[in-house]
Amino acid sequence: MKLTKIQRKLLKFYAQHRTTPPAVGSVLRSLAVPWLVLALLAGASTWFIWAGWPVVAWLFIGVCAGAFLRDIGRIRILFQTWPVTHAALDWQRVQELLSSNDNAP
C-alpha cells in the first residue's frame, strides 16, 4: 500500500505515541508554523484597514481566527479520544505500513 504524505505523518504520530499519550507541548509544536502563518496573515490584513477596506480586513482576521479555533477544537478532540484510539489501533499493522512504505520506491 502506497501511503500519502499525510497518511505517513499520521502513522508516525501514532507510532511515536504508542507508549505515552500525546502531550500538549508536542502537539502545539507541530502547529507552530501554520499558526505563525495565520498570525502573519491576520496581522498583514490590517493593511486593508489603512487602504480603506475594513470589511475585507475583518473578513481575513475572522477566517484566521476561525482556523485557529478549529485547530484548538481538533486538539481537544484528540486528547478526549486518545484512549479509545490507542486501544483500537493495531500497532503491528501501523509498524508494517510504516516499514513497507520506507522500502517503497
- Give the whole-angstrom CA distance, residue 43 versus residue 27: 24
Q: What is the pTM of this model?
A: 0.81
Contacts 24+ apart (CB under 8 A), 23-26: 24/75, 24/79
Tens of pLDDT, residue by residue over 57-92, are: 999 999 999 999 999 999 999 999 999 999 999 999
pLDDT of residue 103: 64
User: Is there a contact between 104 and 6 (Cβ–Cβ < 8 Å)?
Assistant: no
Domain coordinates of the chain in residue numbers? 5-102
CA 18 – CA 87 distance, rounded (Å): 10
